[in-house]
Amino acid sequence: MANSPDVEIPETIVIPAGEYLMGGIAEDKYVTAVELPPARINFAAGFAMGKAPVTQSQWHSVMRQLPHGCAPGAVAACPVVSVSFHDVSSFLLKLSAMAEMVFRLPSEAEWEYACRGGSMTVFPTGTSLSLEAANYLYDENGTAVGTGALTPVSRYPPNRFGLHDMLGNVCEWTADDWHPNHRGTSTDGRPRVSASDPPRRAIRGGGWDHLPRVLRPSWRNWAPETARWDNLGFRIARSL
């Protein structure tokens, strides 16, 4: 299928090759067992990552309709939400055909590497995360301090790789099936895929209705593949 001029292809940024230690760090008091043990990952080649989560406008340009829970107009620049893993897979297939290049979801290892941007601290910005750095709702005392809603992508500063909204705004689907820890993680950063019943996928990043401890690069959780949540979106990736 030829590239259609009205299709909004999400911008990507090249993430350089490199090595890092995926998972919780010793200085982080919020680390849980699912973030352990640390796994050494080596990316022999770089990869491309969406500069921001896929927006409602970008989704509509490919799928020609919006998911239930999304609305056109003022929120067009907000991340698309209420999309299941299967919905996302359909979007990626259609976008790949229209753009004549293969897009996919990032693996967990790629996601965390891209989020950290070379940092190995609790948050990429250090030991704390300010409201000026990400969209979240509660402080660590449970007091509502944030906007309490989705915000347009790229409103907050980019990380060291130039990526926006890696933390907060929406949680993000990854390509990996859910595993309860990092044992068995591929050292080259490939997604871990194995049958599970019911099917579950790893999600990352934390959303607009969370608190900072969830918006850590090492935080991970799962969602059933059928989940259509108002705080769950995704960003594209591409092998180079």
pLDDT digits (tens, 9 = 90+) for 98-150: 999 999 999 999 999 999 999 999 999 999 999 999 999 999 999 999 999 99
Helix axes 85-99, 56-63, angle to 10 degrees: 70
pLDDT digits (tens, 9 = 90+) for 151-195: 999 999 999 999 999 999 999 999 999 999 999 999 999 999 886
Give the count of alpha carbons within 13 A of 148, CB side only: 4
pTM of the model as a whole:
0.95
* Assigned fold of 10-240: paralog of FGE (formylglycine-generating enzyme) (3.90.1580)
Phi, psi angle pair for 99, to nearest 5°: -90, -10
- Provide the residue ranges of all domains of the chain, joining segments of one domain with +: 10-240
Residue whose structure tokens are 């003022």: 74
Name the pLDDT band for 71 (thresholds 50, 70, 90): low
**What whole-number distance in Å separates Cα of residue 53 and Cα of residue 115?**
13
- In this model, does residue 3 exceed pLDDT 60? no
**Ramachandran bin of 89, using left for φ above 0, alpha for ψ from -120 to 50, beta for the remaining angles:** alpha
Name the pLDDT band for 76 (thresholds 50, 70, 90): confident
Alpha carbon of 149 to those of 81, 93, 136, 162, 210: distances in Å? 12, 29, 9, 23, 11
Q: What confidence score (pLDDT) does residue 1 get?
A: 42
Task: Give the strand pairing for 39-43 and 200-204.
Answer: unpaired
pLDDT digits (tens, 9 = 90+) for 137-161: 999 999 999 999 999 999 999 999 9
